[in-house]
Amino acid sequence: MSNHHLAKVLGKKEAFMLAFGAMIGWGWIVLSGGWVQEAGSIGAPLALALGAGIIMVIGLCYAELCSAMPYEGGEHVFSYRAMGHAASFLCTWAMILGYVSVVAFEAVALPTVLDNLIPGYQVGYLWNLMGQEQNTEDLVAGIRGGDVYFTWALVGMAGTVVVTWLNYIGIKTAARFQTFVTYLILLVGLVFIIAAPISGDAANLQPLFNETPVEDSAFSPMMAGMLAVLLIVPFMFVGFDVIPQAAAEINLPQKDIGKMLLLSVAAATIFYCAITFGVGIALNEQQLNDASLPTATAMEVVFNSPLAAKIMILAGVAGIITSWNAFFIGGSRAIYAMAHAKMLPAFLAKTHPKYKTPHNAVLLIGAATLFAPFLGRKALVWFVDAGSLSIVIAYFMVCMSLLVLRRRAPNMPRPFRLKKGIFIGAAGCCLSLFLGYMYLPFSPAALTKEEWWIFGGWMVFGFILYSIARSKYGTEESDRIMEAEWANEHEMAAAQAKQNAQ
């Protein structure tokens, strides 16, 4: 959690691009056509906007807490201050699973994209962990098949090494890279968003709201279609919470840190809705059915050029990189914060003497995900789904932390103070529970048996580490470390007020 050994090098632009780039990964290239088919050309953007509204409520809770406690670790700090040692470990450990699962997934997504740019580059068949060729479509990865080839896995490993290196040598370098690549995504996306309504056909917008027949459901057919889009929202918008993880390295007034978080969610919402509308007006029903990468196909149709589709796919590659890099930053900072508070082995809390990065935590994530491509596509989808549930758990505990701290620490300086904080915190808790319900048995997006094994295994592993650390250090050492930071919060608030006045 300590921010004394990490350099404050991120400005307003870098903080925004870090979170925004984390959210706009590869999924929008693949999923947009399915959204339009499920909910309609207007229903799909509307469902995304409704889902973003849920995330925005949760983001408001983050914004107040992050501005009040701009320390490395985000959720770890909030939950510890509000609910103590054990609750903080559960919240942060759950969030780390979400981050690491996305990092591992990106190591598979990168070679997957090359399938669309360089068909047939796979050489050296290794295995298929599923035991047979898979025929199911993975909407997130955008590919079919479960065979693992050596060259395919090597591309993912090379990407892991590069991203690990970027984060090892300094967050400023990683943030500059993030900003540059995110600008490329925005440029390509804006070209498509502007051109699609001009070159598209308004007749393709029908139906505006699609109806999905469902049996024994409380939802109407139109709402069922929108719900199918809403289910993917946690996966599409996770990433704004990277800002609290790196708050100690953000050189901004505390109030502005919360504003950057909310602005990144709003920007991602506009981007997703505009891209989805563009796909809806550019492609007819047959084209939507045939497209494996709908956004790239829409780009080709709009500009009547296969080269345009390749450019859009390259934007997807950029999205993979920005998401990969941002979650690498978030995961390593969460591990660093827990180790600093004596909840994980102490060597993970060391910072590099030259680069001022938590280099051991960075290397741990790199090592843990280096061989992820050898697991194949399907296994990594399990990690992403299990990680999504973990992220929702962390969201709930953050919203609960806001409620608890409003009661227990009413005088804590809050540079970004919500006017109706109790109501917003309670709403965030309820909405987080709703998102969590979607992954439970008998719900529309229930986790598979394999995904429950991953989630349960991760929690058991964490409990073992937590028990070892607690038996060695107890809770007193953690309390001392955390309270040493909080003791200075009023002085920090005064310094920020002086900086704002200047």
Model pLDDT, residue 2? 45
Q: What residue ranges do the domains of the chain occupy?
A: 12-501
- Give percent above pLDDT 70 in the chain: 84
Q: How far apart are CA 273 and CA 233, in angstroms?
A: 12
pLDDT computed for residue 293 by the predictor: 81
Residue 355 confidence class, pLDDT cut points 50, 70, 90: confident
d(CA 460, CA 83): 21
Four-point Cα dihedral 156, 157, 162, 163, nearest 10? 70
Query: Does the CA dihedral 446-449-450-454 come out positive or negative?
Result: positive
Q: Of all helices (H) and strands (E), which one includes residue 148?
A: strand 148-149
Rounded distance between C-alpha atoms, residue 363 and residue 176, angstroms: 20
User: Which tokens is 332 given?
Assistant: 């390593």
* CA dist., res. 344 & res. 336, Å (int): 9
Which has more confidence, 64 or 138?
64
Instruction: Tally the C-alpha atoms within 13 A of residue 488's C-alpha that lie toward its C-beta.
Output: 12
CA distances from 14 to 173, 257, 494 (A): 10, 11, 25
DSSP state of 130: T
Comparing C-alpha atoms, which of 297, 238, 247 is closest to residue 268? 238
* pLDDT of 232 over the 80 cut: no
Instruction: Using DSSP, state whether 208 is helix, strand or coil.
Output: coil
pLDDT of residue 230: 78
Q: Which of 6-10, 78-82, 306-310, 435-439 has the lowest mean pLDDT?
A: 6-10
- Mean per-residue pLDDT for 126-145? 50
Residue 141 has a pLDDT of 39
For residue range 99-118, what is the model confidence (pLDDT) as tens digits? 888 888 888 888 877 777 78
Read off the pLDDT of residues 236-247 as tens digits, 9 standing for 90 and up: 887 887 777 666
According to the model, what pLDDT value does residue 190 have?
93
Residue 454 reports pLDDT greater than 90: no
In angstroms, the CA 73 to CA 54 distance is: 23
- At 152 the pLDDT is 86
The confidence band for 14, taking pLDDT boundaries of 50, 70 and 90, is confident
Q: Half-sphere exposure of residue 167, counting CA atoms within 13 Å on the CB side?
A: 30
CATH class of 12-501: mainly alpha
* pLDDT over 50 at 187, yes or no: yes
What confidence tier does 212 reach under pLDDT thresholds 50, 70, 90?
A: low
- Report the alpha-carbon distance of residue 33 to residue 456 in Å, rounded: 33
Mean of all residue pLDDT scores within the chain: 81
* 8 A C-beta contact, residue 279 and residue 36: yes
Token look-up 């040493």 returns 484
CA 82 to chain CA mean position, Å: 24
pLDDT at 67 over 90: no
The more confidently predicted of residues 9 and 55 is 55
How far apart CA 252 and CA 1 sit, in angstroms, is 18
Q: What is the DSSP string of 395-435?
A: HHHHHHHHHHHHHH-TTS--SS--TTHHHHHHHHHHHHHHH
Task: Decide if 95 contacts 75 (C-beta within 8 A).
Answer: yes
Instruction: Say how many C-beta atoms besides its own lie within 10 A of residue 99's C-beta.
Output: 30
| Distance from C-alpha of 19 to C-alpha of 429, rounded to nearest angstrom | 22
pLDDT of amino acid 136: 35
Structure tokens at 462: 């964490």
Quickly list DSSP for 445-491.
TPPPHHHHHHHHHHHHHHHHHHHHHHHHHTTHHHHHHHHHHHTTHHH
Q: Are 416 and 424 in contact (CB under 8 A)?
A: no
Q: Using CA atoms, how far apart are residues 141 and 382, in angstroms rounded to an integer?
A: 12
In tens, the pLDDT along 302-338 reads 999 999 999 998 888 888 888 888 888 888 888 988 8
Cα 90 to Cα 69: distance, rounded to the nearest angstrom? 19
Q: Output the CA torsion sign for 34, 40, 46, 47.
A: negative
Query: Residue 250: beta bridge partners?
Result: 10
pLDDT given at position 406: 94
Is 131 a residue whose pLDDT tops 60? no
- Lowest-confidence region among 45-59, 256-270, 298-312: 256-270
DSSP tag of 250 = B
Prediction pTM value: 0.81
Contacts with 331 (C-beta within 8 Å, 6 or more apart), sequence order: 96, 99, 100, 103, 361, 365
Is the model more confident about 377 or about 52?
A: 52
